Every structure is written in structure tokens, then in C-alpha cells.
Amino acid sequence: MKRLTMLLVVMLVAFSLVSMATTIVEERIEGINTLDSDWCYDTSSGEVIWQIYDNLLRYNGKTFIPKLSTNVPSLKDGTILDNGKTYVFHIRQGVYFHNGDLLTPQDVVYSLERSIIFSRGGGPSWMLAEPIFPKINGAYVDTIEEWATKFAGVKSYSELFVEGTRTPKNDKYKQALIDAFQLVSKAFEIKGNDVVIHLAHIYPPFLSAINTVYGGVIFDKKWAMEQNAWDGKANDWWKYHNPTREKDPLYSVTNGTGPFVLDRWSKGREIVLKRFDKYWGAPAKIEYAIIKIVKEFTTRKLDLMRGNADIIYAPSQYLKQLESIPGVKVLKGYPSLRIISLYFTQSISPKGNHFIGSGKLDGNGIPPDFFANKDVRMGFEYLFPHKSYINSIWYGQAITPNGALPSIVLGYDSKNPPAYHQNLAKATEYFKKAYNGKLWEKGFKFTVVYNTGNDQRRVACEMLKAYARKINPKFKINIENELWSSFLSDMVAERMPMYTSGWGGAVADPYYFAQPFYASSGTLGAFLGKAYKEWAKSNMDSLVNESMKTLDPEKRAKYYEELNVKAYNNAIYIWLAQPLIFEIQRANIKGWTFNPTRPGGAAAGIDFYELSK
């Protein structure tokens, strides 16, 4: 009996060792929001979608590689045509979806069209909409709503429908909706086993736009329709447009072609992925990938030390502590696609605005056009202690940017322009020059704002406040924090004189940074006030637009370099940090590679397909 018991123990231990060897566990702090690529716009959800679904192409950190397309379109081989407006993709054959269906070109077209018509508010569909739709009044179109509205001759999309429904008010409006979809459908053509995509205009980042997990993955058309997703028709697409998350039929179910299948999702706790043995590439080296949500750093650390977790997230202040643990390795120093900045609102909305105090340059406030004064902005540029901020708050895991472009994208030049660094003598010089000396004599009082819970941004505000008071006791800066929803509302209303926020790109193309920061209509620039927008229309917009009219990388790079220099010379933003990516693993984990476009929650992105023990 003892011998039998001993044998069972040995068998159980052996099974456990095999199981652990074929399973990798990641512990992080964020849960996921959705499993639908067309809804997803957060890195935590994106990391999971990356494992389950494939795109036509993927960026591997250096170049595009074929996935469900066997080719990367290029001018050289004739698969980019019409001066950059037509792209030909050879669709891989013999590819299985997780339910056993075979991939077809029809699946590819359905998936990309669905992404565009899905177009949930604040979602990722704009990346495909911009190259597919013709421009309106010279501007890119970010959503199908814009063309439907234009065809109907109304001011807003909601006017097309009976109030509280998705029923068009009349036949004219219904036809306008159908006509808007026709602009999408005519962009896609199937020729044999090829998918041909016709763009409305040259769009240099197009390959980047379709390689992201945010709206670019390929679904099984038949399966998706069985789940009550879009039925593929032109005459009712609006019923599937911009749903709430929970009413999205693909919110919690999956059927991809990727190397892992969804095994189970325990919301708020963990998600378990299982190897897909019929994957078109070689099967994954591990059988299971498990992502657990563990909020407390101490718990994550203990799990890592004991081998219960293979990969964990930790804030940068704990890196040295983790590096000293036997059996643990910390991979660090990789540049991210994120830029964190302090923003100047050059024309502040004054009505009932406590952020600007008295609203006058009298020592108890600032006038609404305070930051339209270049001398004021220059003073603040030299006031901020960049080096101590990076060292004390980021623990060296960030670099000081010199503009809107991260250090790894086309057009970045580390020396031109040079990054601003603290120089209190120069700061004093500019502040004394502003308003012909009145600013220095009277002083100022205003409020700088950051989003609640973000300590790195809070400390940036505190540093600015301390050094302003240091050079002149009459320089008074109050600090407030707001919940994200209120913060965004005040930003859009142009109420905050100065605030701090970040911007992250899903793809490594300079347009996705230059346009938001610098263009007068950019996601960020559009809310810097009338004075900035008028200046940007004359100085920045043409350069942003010209950068999108050529596929030549050298020509594009020159436009982005010039934009950065203009922003530097005019002190448009205070560039705070470009965070560096780090990865914390057990020492026996093999195969991790750096890829700045791979989503990864609060940590570096994980591709479980490349990992082994």
C-alpha cells in the first residue's frame, strides 16, 4: 500500500512539473474591458486579443511581417499600385479559425468593413476610416457618420433617426446611410484569393493602421453573423453601429486564427488561454497562458519569488529591489510609444472659471490669453526641472522628449531640436521680459490640473509650483486633480490654463503623434485655444498635410523634423517624459522580444507565442 501511495505521489509531482513547464502565468493590475477588437482601445484587452486573433500583417518591432497575408505589399513587387492608393494582399490558404472554419478572402473584407461601420464612440475605427473615406472639405473623415450626415444634408447623425430608435426618419435618410456604406464597400475588391484595397487618397501609415489589434484583426464572417454581429448588408449597418459594450455580441466570445484559444474568462480575476494545435504556423511552445489580476505589488512579488507567477508588473521604483532577487531577471531600457506633457491653453475660456482667479494680471489671477504670450511659455520651459523629474519620479526609466515624436519613429532627431532643461536664470529673464516687466512686478495666480490618482503627473505639477515660487514669491500656482471624465470635459471646454496628460500611439508612425499634438484640428492641439489654432493653421497644418502626400520616408522625415523644431522654437508644450518599457520575468523564461506596438497593460507587451521555459 505504501509503495502504491508513493507511486501516486511521484506521478502527481511529475504531472505538476509538466503542467508548470507548459504554462506561463502573468500577473498584472488591470482587468480587460472586451474581447472584440473593434471595441477595444485599451492595452490590457489588446494584449489578450493579440494572442487569439491575427491581422493581415504584424509589426515585429522592426518591420512588417506577413500573417494572414502571405505578402507585405510594396511598390517594388507591384502590390502597391496607383501611386500608393491600391494595396494587394495575397490571403494565406489552409488557415483554420478556432471553430474549424477555413479562412477566406470574404472573411477579410467583412472584418475590415465591420471595423469601419462599428465605429463605437472613442474607438479605434478612425485608423481605417481615414484612408478609406474621401475627405470632406480637405479634412480626413474619422467615422462613417460624417458621410451619412453629409449625404443627408443634416447637421448631426442623430437627426437621421426617429428619436430613441435606429429607424431612419424617411427614405432619403435611409438612402444617405446606404450611400455612406457604399463608400466603404467600393474600397474592397476580391480577385481570386487576393484582397485588393483601394484607398481614397495616399495614406502613408496604411500598413500600420491595418496591423494593429485595435480594429484590424480578422473575424470568421459566418461565425460572427451567427453571434448576431453585423449581417454584412448595406441596408441595416446602422443597427450595428456604436453599440454599448455589453450589447456588443462579440464582447465576451472569440473565434480567431491566432495561436491561442480562449479557455475561460473570469472577469476581474483571470483569463486562461489554451494552445491552438491547428494554428497555421508552428504550434506555441507552451500549452497554457494565464493572465491574473493581482492588485497588490507585495503579492505579485511573492508569487514571482515562489514561481507561482512567471511574469509580473511592478512600478519602476521597485526595479532595483526585484533585480536583486535570485531567479528573477529585469529587462529594461526599451523606448515606448508614449509622450507625457504639460499643456498650455493659449486662449482660456474665462466664464465662471476659478482656474484663472481674477482673470487679470493683478497678482490674483491671469488673463485668458496669458499663455498666448511666448515669453511666458519660454519662462515655464526653463523653469521645469527635467533631469530631477526623470531621476526621482521615473527612477531613470524615462527620457526627456524634444517634441511630439517618440525616439523610435521616423523623423525623430535627438539633437535637433535639443530638449529643454532647467535654467532658472533664463526662466527669470523671460518672465521679466513678459508684459514689459509687469508680470514680474505683479506676479500671477492660476491652477494647474492633473487626473486623479496619477502620482507622476501630480509630482510634475508640484515641481512646477515649487520652482515658480522659488524664483518669485509672487508666482502662485494652485494644484487640483479631477476624475478623468471631468478632466476631459474641462480640456475640451478649454477651461484649464495648464494641465498634464499623456498620449500613446498604437503604431510606430510619426503622423499619429504629429497630427494630434501639432495640427489645429488635432486631438490635443484643437483644445489649446483659439490663439494656438490660428497659429497652427499658418505654421503647422501644411507640414502635417504634406507629410501625408508621399510614401518616401526621407521626405516625410523632413516634414516631421521641421514640425518639432517649430514647436520647440515657439514653446508649444513642456515635454515631460517618454517612458521606457521594462519586463520582469523568472530567469527561466525564454524568447521575449521588444515590440513597442504590442499592447501590454501597465507593463511591456507579451506575445505568449514566442515564450517558453
Domain at 418, CATH number: 3.10.105.10
Indicate if 432 and 547 belong to the same structural domain.
yes
Looking at residue 339, its pLDDT comes to 96
Within-domain flag for 434: yes
Q: Which residue type is seen at 607? A: D
Looking at residue 43, its pLDDT comes to 87
Other C-beta atoms lying within 10 Å of the C-beta of residue 294: 20
Of the chain, the end-to-end C-alpha distance in Å amounts to 36
Could you tell me the mean pLDDT of each successive run of 10 residues in the chain, 613 residues long? 50 45 91 93 92 96 94 95 96 98 98 96 90 94 96 97 96 98 98 98 95 94 98 97 93 97 95 98 96 95 96 93 96 93 98 97 97 98 97 94 96 94 98 97 98 92 98 98 92 96 88 94 93 97 95 96 97 97 95 91 84 96
Domain count, the chain: 3
- Cell numbers standing for residue 352: 465662471
- Cell numbers standing for residue 138: 480637405
CA distance 351 to 355: 10
Indicate if 331 and 454 belong to the same structural domain.
no
Q: Say how many residues make up the chain.
A: 613
Within-domain flag for 9: no
Indicate if 266 and 371 belong to the same structural domain.
no
CA distance 412 to 410: 6
> Which residue, 247, 269, 299, sits at the end of a domain?
247
How does DSSP assign 143-161, residue by residue? SHHHHHHHHHT-SSGGGGB
pTM: predicted TM-score of the whole model, two decimal places: 0.88
Within-domain flag for 44: no
Within-domain flag for 556: yes
CATH number at residue 594: 3.40.190.10
Within-domain flag for 81: yes
Looking at residue 18, its pLDDT comes to 42
Indicate if 517 and 598 belong to the same structural domain.
no
Indicate if 306 and 163 belong to the same structural domain.
no
Let me know: does 505 contact 513? Beta carbons within 8 Å: yes
Structural domain of 100: 54-247
Looking at residue 6, its pLDDT comes to 52
Indicate if 394 and 411 belong to the same structural domain.
yes
Within-domain flag for 302: yes
Indicate if 315 and 329 belong to the same structural domain.
yes
Let me know: does 146 contact 125? Beta carbons within 8 Å: no
Indicate if 398 and 513 belong to the same structural domain.
yes
Within-domain flag for 421: yes
Indicate if 326 and 360 belong to the same structural domain.
no
CA distance 313 to 302: 12
CATH number at residue 234: 3.90.76.10
The phi, psi pair for 271, rounded to 5°, reads -130, 135
> Which residue, 247, 279, 302, sits at the end of a domain?
247
> Which residue, 194, 219, 247, sits at the end of a domain?
247
Asked if the bond preceding 417 is cis, omega within 30° of 0, the reply is yes
Indicate if 92 and 232 belong to the same structural domain.
yes
Indicate if 424 and 540 belong to the same structural domain.
yes
Within-domain flag for 588: yes
Looking at residue 3, its pLDDT comes to 53
Indicate if 409 and 529 belong to the same structural domain.
yes
